Structure 1
Amino acid sequence: MNNREVKPIKRSKFRLMLGKNYYVGKRHLQWLFGRENYANTKDHKVMPYVVFAHKTLLLRKLKDVDMQLQYNKITNLKIAVGRLNSVVIKPGETFSYWKLIGKPTYKKGYLDGLILCADGSFKAGVGGGLCQLSNLIFWMTIHSPLTVVERHRHSHDVFPDVNRTQPFGTGATCSYNYLDLQIYNGTSSEFQLLLNVGKEYLTGELRSSEPCRYKYEVYEKEHSITPGLFGGYMRNNLIFRNVYNKFDELIKDEYITENHAYMVYEPFLSEGK
């Protein structure tokens, strides 16, 4: 695993604005003139076969975070889920998270939620909290035959593990529209994304028109916490998955991605705690 750390670059607000506008514009050109055939069809008839299902808790008490931002996040998730629920990814099509959702704005009903900044701090911002949805979709996708063609890892590990049920680094950060989550269907089956914001959980199902021939088990390797070259600590790991056939025989051990994140909190317990 490559643990090389890149020194953070401090740029002016004007430079950051120019850079963001450049990448946003570049993404729009890709959507308009790229060769990808983007998924945009919905079918409210539920497909018969469940490939993978998952749910994540909507409200968590986080240190120094106003709970109102999490309540606002639920509103944001409901709007975004309305755009993605029942979307079908046909053979040869690419799912684009932001192309389907569109830009979160106050005019569309989005509220201020929690947004992670480039330096590892967090602030209130319109549409904040939608990373929970992209995290869920990425986690379901890596338990399926679909191919992740674009995913961005979180640059900072902001909160300590509390009741973690997934390996570190199995999420997908998002920022309109240049940090996208894109998924390609290279199979001969259609896949359907079913999503719901309930009272306690954000739930998701990835369904298919045909039975899935494989089962997937995602796990991490080489988890480590290392001193950062420029202060603080880095958290690192590799994400792999075991692929099993219908007889539960292991047929593949596949690399998925690697993660390196600056740790915002102190990783080691003090003596006596």
Structure 2
Amino acid sequence: MVSLQPVKRSKARIYIGKKVYRFKRFGEWMFDGKKYARNRSEEKFPYVFKKHRTPLLRQLKDVDMQLQYNKITNLSIAAKQLNKVVIQPGETFSYWRLLGNTSRRKGYVDGMILHYGKVTVGVGGGLCQLSNLLYWITLHTPLTVTERYRHSYDVFPDSNRSQPFGSGATCAYNYLDLQIKNETQTPFQLIIYVTDTHLNGEWRSTTPTTRTYEIYEKEHHFTRELWGGYVRHNTIYRKVYDAEGNEIDDEFITENHAITMYEPFLTYEGETN
């Protein structure tokens, strides 16, 4: 059983740690031998493997709605950077290598950032919605997630949740990356765009799919820790079906453990996760 507790670090420790991890990532991008996806195809690939959308505005307790509107600006900029990127066979998609740093010079504005379980403000905030969406649609394809980081804190209680807890991917430039490798024989194209109400994403390919996928959770529970708080746990699995609808595999995907920043057994209304 995994046991977690809040970690307190000084501002100096956090600052130096970020610098070290970012420098390490730059070195990996240069010398790790991976072939990173960077090309685009203006013409959409004909076959949709998975599409999904998430609402842009969410009513979150004690969070300034202006940060939600700013998030839309940030998502719109990032979506244009990733839209129509193609992963050829053998290539790896790197979320941050394609996006780069989220600076004001590029048009990014202040948005909501979750930092050690607390809501703070930072330039480019809100892009975890994009990495969450990307991870979710990738789980419904034969693409392989080679690097993904889970959220360490579960900040907001469930309300109208449509996906299992822990089915997203947190991001922080550039060391908390989301990387996806194409180990198939066909290219895949990412389509990402923002409408007035939703962030939309889909994976397309040049050949039709012969598999469908169902993502589900097991062993979901909370534990009361000795330090007085709660930790949320579950495991994520994926059922694989052939073209006739027959189940051909049941795969373990990942396990999640997150410190809850709320009382898990209380009823909350008017909030969405």
Q: TM class by shorter-chain length?
A: over 0.9
Out of 244, 247, 254, the position equivalent to 2:251 is 254
Query: What TM-score, normalized by structure 1, do the two folds share?
Result: 0.96
Instruction: For 1:225 and 1:144, locate their aligned partners in 2 and report how far apart those are by CA, in whole Å.
Output: 30
TM-fit CA distance, 1:79: 0.5
In structure 1, the partner of 2:161 is 164
Which has the higher relative contact order, 1 or 2, with Cα contacts under 8 A spaced 6 or more apart? 2
In structure 2, the partner of 1:194 is 191
Out of 196, 201, 205, the position equivalent to 2:202 is 205
Instruction: For 1:41 and 1:65, locate their aligned partners in 2 and report how far apart those are by CA, in whole Å.
Output: 38
Instruction: For 1:196 and 1:229, locate their aligned partners in 2 and report how far apart those are by CA, in whole Å.
Output: 45
- Secondary structure of residue in 2 paired with 1:107: helix
Out of 149, 154, 158, the position equivalent to 1:152 is 149
Does residue 16 of the first structure (1) align with residue 10 of the second (2)? Answer: no
Instruction: For 1:238 and 1:205, locate their aligned partners in 2 and report how far apart those are by CA, in whole Å.
Output: 25
- Whether the 8 Å contact between 2:212 and 2:243 is mirrored in structure 1 is yes
Instruction: For 1:269 and 1:38, locate their aligned partners in 2 and report how far apart those are by CA, in whole Å.
Output: 46
Instruction: For 1:140 and 1:159, locate their aligned partners in 2 and report how far apart those are by CA, in whole Å.
Output: 22
- Describe the superposition over 1:70-127 as per-residue Cα deviations: whole angstroms up to 9, x where unpaired: 0000000010001000000000000000000000011111000000002x01111100
- Whether the 8 Å contact between 1:221 and 1:239 is mirrored in structure 2 is yes
Does residue 106 of the first structure (1) align with residue 104 of the second (2)? Answer: yes
RMSD over aligned Cα atoms: 0.9
Amino acid in structure 2 at the alignment position of 1:136: L
Does residue 234 of the first structure (1) align with residue 221 of the second (2)? Answer: no
- Describe the superposition over 1:198-246 as per-residue Cα deviations: whole angstroms up to 9, x where unpaired: 0111011110111111100000000001102322101110000100011
- Describe the superposition over 1:171-207 as per-residue Cα deviations: whole angstroms up to 9, x where unpaired: 0000000000000000001000001100111011110
Amino acid in structure 1 at the alignment position of 2:179: Q
Out of 29, 34, 37, the position equivalent to 2:35 is 37
TM-fit CA distance, 1:46: 0.5
- Whether the 8 Å contact between 1:5 and 1:229 is mirrored in structure 2 is no
TM-fit CA distance, 1:168: 0.5
Unaligned stretches of 5+ in structure 1? none
Query: What TM-score, normalized by structure 2, do the two folds share?
Result: 0.96
Q: Return structure 1 stretches of 4+ with deviation > 4 angstroms.
A: none
Does residue 217 of the first structure (1) align with residue 214 of the second (2)? Answer: yes
- Whether the 8 Å contact between 1:242 and 1:253 is mirrored in structure 2 is yes
- Whether the 8 Å contact between 2:6 and 2:259 is mirrored in structure 1 is no
In structure 2, the partner of 1:56 is 54
- Secondary structure of residue in 2 paired with 1:42: coil
- Describe the superposition over 1:24-63 as per-residue Cα deviations: whole angstroms up to 9, x where unpaired: 0000011111111000001010001100000000001100
- Secondary structure of residue in 1 paired with 2:8: coil
Map of 1:76-95 to 2, 5 A cutoff? 76-95=74-93
- Secondary structure of residue in 2 paired with 1:115: strand
Map of 1:111-126 to 2, 5 A cutoff? 111-118=109-116, 120-126=117-123
Instruction: For 1:29 and 1:65, locate their aligned partners in 2 and report how far apart those are by CA, in whole Å.
Output: 37
- Secondary structure of residue in 2 paired with 1:41: coil
Number of aligned positions between the proteins: 267
Percent identity between the two aligned chains? 58
In structure 1, the partner of 2:271 is none
